[in-house]
Structure 1
């Protein structure tokens, strides 16, 4: 176990957990460089088959897909091998295995970008898109930049309210007796949050902030409590084994701050084997119904 009993209880009670120094300085530098290179692309310089993955305006609300300010980059693993290698960071996989106590599969990945002085605010919300309803889902947000001035804002414990509509979230926040908790972190840290915890952030009034989000579930969650099917799962199962191979090829290890804890768990037993030799690094998040409509 990488996480202590106290940390596991805190996550269950509060809905989030801060992990310090998940990325070491060398890995952080490489991932930042990869992010810089991808974010610098615009217009015709973005490969045609990547253009739908570059999202502009705001993450949620009326300003979604408006303007020219990049706010999110979807499917980064297929765009730079360093993002793929980061998925196999031993601390990330060990934490995912500890929280699920089962095999894990990557079910979502993107990078959120808040541009200096102009990033749109993120209204309070739950991450309710493509969600499981009867089992716990969490996302690991790996910070590439400090968030001390404009951090994540959370309402601890609100994941216990269950799935809420947008209007229900707005009403709950309006009636809240306490302000949200600020959760500032440094570059290289990570915040794990239950997707049902109410959270948001203000407009970015300071420096660049980029966060890579990795969502993990178990294969059985995908099979029995998700909007996806076995076809989708089989392709998703190829990602983490490919990430482990890529990390080994790059010679990346574990940050020394996690070395002792990482040695206490064999997270590799929590990685189900890929069903075949082919690797799929852009497995569309669209659910079964959307795929049927488009076919």
Structure 2
């Protein structure tokens, strides 16, 4: 049974495109808190995103303290030294592939299936483990909310992620409530009886509920593993639960027509997404594309983390 407490538009018995989810897929997600879509991103777009991933890492490693946007490149102190592990606000980092992906039917069809036509792209980042950096990501829940609507992350894997080499661990069916993740770690470590390893290949997509408990164990000598994360919520959910307002929704929704245009320009012969947002939410563009590409988050919905340090690393966005 779904853990949602308020109704969303029912999925169509026959999805209106190959990029929309089936009722069975949505039910699996609602029951388990995650869903894997194998080879979901077309090879040409995937190749552009892999190149963009390299460029984002290079930009972060070369950024100076006074450079605009320097704080979007997030570093951590490891036993072996300082390493970068995250890039926030991808769309203004001079790599059009991130907007091409956002405007693709493979992304927006899923967003519409899960959130209804008034979906809002709320976050965009790339999180990665550099070669040899096998630091753990502790058990956590991304954001805890009243569960009247689906809030989910669209996770595109740019590299292989295998069991024993840093693959994501998930506790299926854990998304229905807030958990004490410290207690989970203390009692079970990484060997919770319900835990599964989600193995992924380049081009695979993991959809995960922001309340499903997940993390990844420490490994040694792992290869580079990069994942692009886009979070989506319904505009109705944001207005009901916060933490943002109507103006912020409007500003974030301006990313959608930019993405649609970039996808159409890059792949004119590919299928394009038919955006059916309600008139009251359709944004009026400002004409200042540079300003529209980065809409910052002043506040965040609280998640469940074992320490303030874990939360800070997750919320530096």
TM-score when normalising by structure 1: 0.83
Q: Distance in 2 between matches of 1:245 and 1:37?
A: 22
Pairing 1:233–2:249 present: yes
Pairing 1:55–2:74 present: yes
Moved more, 118-127 or 66-75: 66-75
Following superposition, the deviation at residue 174 of structure 1 comes to: 5.5
Following superposition, the deviation at residue 34 of structure 1 comes to: 1.1
Secondary structure of the residue that 1:268 maps to in structure 2?
Answer: coil
Following superposition, the deviation at residue 270 of structure 1 comes to: 4.2
Secondary structure of the residue that 1:200 maps to in structure 2?
Answer: strand
Following superposition, the deviation at residue 208 of structure 1 comes to: 0.7
* Aligned match of 1:98: 113
Structure 1: tracts of 5 or more residues without a match: 290-295
Deviations 1:16-54 (A, max 9, x none): 000111222111111111111121132446871121001
Pairwise CA RMSD:
2.7
Runs of 4+ in 1 over 6 A off after TM superposition: none
Aligned ranges for residues 203-242 of structure 1 at < 5 Å? 203-204=218-219, 205-242=221-258
Moved more, 22-31 or 198-207: 198-207
How many residues get paired? 271
Following superposition, the deviation at residue 237 of structure 1 comes to: 1.1
Pairing 1:284–2:296 present: yes
Q: 1:70 aligns with which of 75, 80, 84?
A: 84
Moved more, 78-87 or 189-198: 78-87
Q: 1:288 to 1:95 in 2, by over 3 A?
A: closer
* Aligned match of 1:274: 283
Partners of 1:125 and 1:198 within 8 A in 2: yes
Q: 1:123 to 1:249 in 2, by over 3 A?
A: same
Deviations 1:218-267 (A, max 9, x none): 1111212121112211210101111001111222665xxxx7xx9xxx75
Q: 1:182 aligns with which of 169, 174, 197?
A: 197
Q: 1:199 aligns with which of 194, 200, 214?
A: 214
Partners of 1:137 and 1:217 within 8 A in 2: yes
Structure 2: tracts of 5 or more residues without a match: 1-14, 302-317
Q: Distance in 2 between matches of 1:168 and 1:216?
A: 29
Aligned ranges for residues 104-115 of structure 1 at < 5 Å? 104-115=119-130
Partners of 1:150 and 1:184 within 8 A in 2: no
Q: 1:43 to 1:67 in 2, by over 3 A?
A: farther
Partners of 2:134 and 2:166 within 8 A in 1: no
